[in-house]
A and B are shown apart, each in its own frame.
Chain A
């Protein structure tokens, strides 16, 4: 028992370094997902038929196929042979593309929840549709989307535990490595559980704080 505790203690700096890799990957993926997800959502709600079809196909593919399979397809099929991208960079992009599909659905739901009258009022004031959407609908929709978005963070964090399969040196990779070299599988797998659990809780707490911060009094209280 003592030996196990000592080994874990010794390996902590190494594993926590992996946590930074995990967090960096999740942050980049969330950001990619956000920058692609919002236009995808707007396109799916307001776009022309061909655009809507393209977007639904994109969403269908990324939501219908396990992340593991996507990681392999994109890394071995595109990112590595064509651009020699590292495992970590490729993983960030694939996670980001997947997240964009999910986030677009969160934002679409939020946009559709905004009463039609808001955009009509903007048009009646003479705003162009792009401005009406950008300055009236989206700021409201983004607030509505935050709970779903927090959830997306926790899903991405958990999904990122798969990127070690491509050879990225994240939390899971380092846990796996320590478990195999020390042959303390059980202890290290428990440690992994604790680490991911703590990151999830802390992350959700921070996002809840954000939610409070941009809350508009009386909005969505009915």
Chain B
């Protein structure tokens, strides 16, 4: 019952080395074209809060197995953009497509079905405080998928094993380290067999020494061909694994392109400028 095929897509561009990133991009474009519909597309998303324009016509399209990274200064609208895609923040205008199917966010039932197929990882983990790690993973399987207690726990256990936390299954969120908490959150999202994962700065609330274990999980997923859209400040990681980087500022995508294009020394891009300042700060 495991969806292992998800992690064994051998033709996935994610397996290519960073040096071949440009090639990877054209390859992924090919793949997208051949399958016609991208796994997930968000088109012209706009959002204002009060009189402030938070998002101004932002679009993104993810082919199957693609990992795109959104970077930009805080307040650029990255988090809002991700949350607009699955309707946690309802966008004012714009459209979202999952495998070519347009999503009507007004329809609550449709929105819930969409959310079951698009997992989300939050910056501050958001595990359910009153449930053990195991129950955190199992509860949506029971309440949303309608699985039995036994099946849901078996599935939850195998997801926890996958993120290396089977021996922590009976602990409560307060008893886990930040890195472990975020890994449980990954298990929780993966248990729903998502077609796409949205990652909202998954490592930025972690102590530096705990970032590695979470990035390891993301790397593993990328290798397995999981389609992901991730906001992050981890530039080395983005450089190594992203197929495309979107640079956002003031609610707009200012630059986009492969890491090789945007981060090449002397390219003079805003992205490069931002990243060099980021490195100085860190």
Direct contact of A and B (CB under 8 A): no
Q: Which residues of A contact B (CB under 8 A)?
A: none
